[in-house]
């Protein structure tokens, strides 16, 4: 199969970005929707094609899953943006620039998960910073601009660490080509171990992993809802994809334990910080951090826990993007991000209210959502390879996170208010999150296919 077929989703998003430069009314919206939906179809087709390992591309089952995930969340975000952008009173730039950056952002993420080189993966991850930074500042107020600055500086410094890790890996292997390293193998020495640990910290910065997570709540809190959704749903997962690739080539217990500890600390810190949150978008941001911590634990353990991590990434992407879309609906109606200011959502905005409750349950790992299965597989892995105490610790903090999120969302959705007039009708802004929440549930029926993709590289 020709290499360009495997690049189709990436190329389509780039073409969409370039077409956004054309000045015509609504043209950028139409083009972006067509590009994103086409990339979904292209990525879906790849699931049934054999793997492709070339000089430039490395597309196996894991890459295919990530490509499909990125394209689906990208498509839902573009569609949701068409209604949400109307609520931004003083946007930083014209609408076409918003869509241009959104398409480029998707392009850089798809590029990262398809390339066969750690150096280019680094370039792709850094490119996501360049393309997404201004999206964070779309609302054009003081704190969103400050959050953008924090994002640029913290993430760039974190990525310097991963650039250093690339140098260390190159010094040992003599190449940065992922396929070559995997096939030929090389002597594992101390410098490679240090390099791998630096990669985990560096890319972990982008994934909101403790202790370099500080940009995450600021950006998720201040960015417009669709941007928060795409950040939380897929950007962080793409950064962890690179970590997974590093763990694949540096398969050393010390490195895996290091990743496990960082994941564990991320879960603990995020769960504790969730208790004291007063703003709902920041609350959801910490919930993302907690989920990414669980994913890192799964990646560090491997085997069933790895499958669990992938299932968690997929269902979390759908559920969390839904949560952020809905938080955008709430913000546009209540004009406040404080949990205490938002009352009786189920009465004023019934579609949004009930959907938010279900999505919140999904992101906190409640059955029957895919997140539950993912977390279950990861905890099974922890029980198998670590003392029971660690599994107990993780479950306790997951429970804390569950109570924090659902109690706070519950008070927003089911509380009483004097003004209970229903002011909501079914429209794109309510349907898109509903679809994503349903997808977060449907993931459980596709676990065999996910496993097949991870082990055989394609669905037969």
List residues binding another protein (CB under 8 A). Answer: 92, 117, 119-120, 122-123, 126-127, 129-130, 133-134, 137, 140-143, 145-150, 152-153, 156-157, 160, 163-164, 166-167, 170-171, 174, 176, 189-191, 194, 217-218, 221-222, 273, 276-279, 282, 337
- Asked whether the CA dihedral 389, 393, 396, 399 is positive or negative, the reply is negative
Tell me whether residue 278 or residue 384 sits nearer to another protein (CB atom). Answer: 278
DSSP H or E stretch at residue 58: strand 58-59
Least distance to another protein, CB of residue 134, Å: 6
Cβ count within 10 A of residue 238: 25
Residue 132 CA, chain-centre distance (Å), reads 13
Which residue in this structure is represented by tokens 């202790």?
A: 211
Give backbone dihedrals phi and psi of 328, rounded to 5 degrees, phi first. -65, -40
Tell me whether residue 124 or residue 429 sits nearer to another protein (CB atom). Answer: 124
Tell me whether residue 176 or residue 363 sits nearer to another protein (CB atom). Answer: 176
Least distance to another protein, CB of residue 101, Å: 10
Tell me whether residue 75 or residue 127 sits nearer to another protein (CB atom). Answer: 127
Which residue in this structure is represented by tokens 């960082």?
A: 262
Contact call for residues 262 and 210 (beta carbons, < 8 A): yes
Distance CA 304, CA 166 (A): 28
Tell me whether residue 111 or residue 351 sits nearer to another protein (CB atom). Answer: 111
Least distance to another protein, CB of residue 384, Å: 33
Least distance to another protein, CB of residue 105, Å: 12
Least distance to another protein, CB of residue 127, Å: 6
Contact call for residues 197 and 300 (beta carbons, < 8 A): no
As given in the structure block, the two tokens for residue 441 are 């549930």
**In angstroms, what is the C-alpha Rg of the chain?**
21
Least distance to another protein, CB of residue 215, Å: 10
Query: Which has the closest alpha carbon to 429: 70, 76, 67?
Result: 76
Least distance to another protein, CB of residue 234, Å: 20
Tell me whether residue 92 or residue 305 sits nearer to another protein (CB atom). Answer: 92
Tell me whether residue 146 or residue 392 sits nearer to another protein (CB atom). Answer: 146
Tell me whether residue 222 or residue 343 sits nearer to another protein (CB atom). Answer: 222
CA distances from 395 to 3, 106, 263, 383 (A): 44, 34, 13, 11
As given in the structure block, the two tokens for residue 436 are 């994503």
Task: Give the SS3 label for residue 359.
Answer: helix
Which residue in this structure is represented by tokens 């650039």?
A: 163
Least distance to another protein, CB of residue 342, Å: 15
As given in the structure block, the two tokens for residue 329 are 């609906």
Cβ count within 10 A of residue 384: 12
DSSP one-letter string for 158-206:
HHHHHHHHHHHHHHHHS--BHHHHHHH-----HHHHHHHHHHHHHHHHH
Tell me whether residue 157 or residue 422 sits nearer to another protein (CB atom). Answer: 157
Tell me whether residue 18 or residue 134 sits nearer to another protein (CB atom). Answer: 134
Least distance to another protein, CB of residue 186, Å: 15
Least distance to another protein, CB of residue 447, Å: 36
Task: Collect all residues with Cβ–Cβ distance below 8 Å to 281 and sequence separation of at least 6.
Answer: 220, 221, 222, 228, 324, 327, 331, 337
């Amino acid at each position: 199969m020709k290499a360009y077929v495997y690049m189709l989703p990436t190329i389509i998003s780039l073409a969409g970005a370039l077409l956004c430069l054309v000045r015509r009314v609504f043209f950028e919206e139409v083009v972006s929707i067509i590009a994103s939906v086409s990339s979904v179809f292209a990525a879906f087709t790849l699931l049934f094609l054999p793997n492709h390992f070339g000089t430039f591309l490395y597309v196996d089952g894991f890459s295919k899953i990530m490509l499909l995930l990125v394209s689906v969340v990208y498509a839902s975000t573009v569609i949701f943006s068409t209604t949400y952008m109307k609520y931004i009173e003083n946007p930083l730039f014209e609408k076409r620039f918003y869509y241009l950056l959104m398409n480029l952002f998707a392009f850089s993420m798809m590029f990262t998960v398809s390339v066969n080189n750690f150096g280019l993966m680094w370039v792709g991850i850094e490119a996501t910073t360049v393309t997404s930074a201004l999206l964070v500042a779309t609302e054009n107020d003081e704190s969103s601009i400050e959050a953008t600055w924090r994002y640029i500086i913290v993430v760039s410094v974190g990525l310097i660490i991963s650039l250093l890790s690339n140098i260390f890996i190159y010094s040992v292997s003599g190449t940065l080509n992922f396929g070559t390293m995997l096939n030929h193998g090389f002597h594992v020495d101390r410098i490679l171990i240090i390099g791998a640990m630096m990669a985990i910290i560096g890319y972990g910065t982008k994934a909101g992993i403790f202790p370099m997570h500080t940009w995450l709540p600021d950006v998720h809190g201040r960015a417009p809802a669709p941007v928060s959704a795409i950040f939380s749903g897929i950007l962080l997962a793409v950064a962890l994809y690179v970590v997974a690739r590093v763990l694949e080539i540096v398969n050393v217990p010390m490195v895996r334990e290091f990743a496990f500890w960082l994941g564990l600390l991320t879960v603990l810190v995020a769960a504790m910080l969730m208790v004291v949150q007063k703003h709902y978008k920041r609350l959801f941001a910490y919930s993302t951090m907690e989920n990414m911590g669980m994913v890192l634990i799964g990646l560090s353990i491997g085997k069933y826990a790895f499958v669990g991590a992938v299932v968690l990434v997929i269902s979390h992407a759908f559920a969390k993007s839904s949560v952020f879309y809905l938080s955008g609906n709430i913000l546009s109606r209540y004009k406040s991000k404080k949990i205490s200011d938002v009352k009786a959502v189920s009465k004023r905005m019934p579609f949004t209210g009930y959907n938010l409750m279900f999505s919140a349950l999904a992101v906190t790992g409640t059955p029957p959502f895919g997140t539950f299965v993912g977390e279950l597989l990861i905890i099974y892995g922890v029980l198998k390879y670590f003392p029971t105490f660690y599994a107990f610790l993780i479950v306790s903090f997951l429970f804390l996170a569950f109570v924090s999120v659902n109690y706070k969302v519950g008070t927003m959705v089911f509380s009483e208010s004097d003004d209970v007039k229903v002011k909501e009708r079914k429209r794109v802004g309510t349907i898109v999150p509903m679809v994503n929440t349903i997808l977060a549930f449907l993931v459980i029926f596709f676990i065999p296919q996910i496993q097949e993709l991870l082990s055989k590289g394609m669905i037969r």
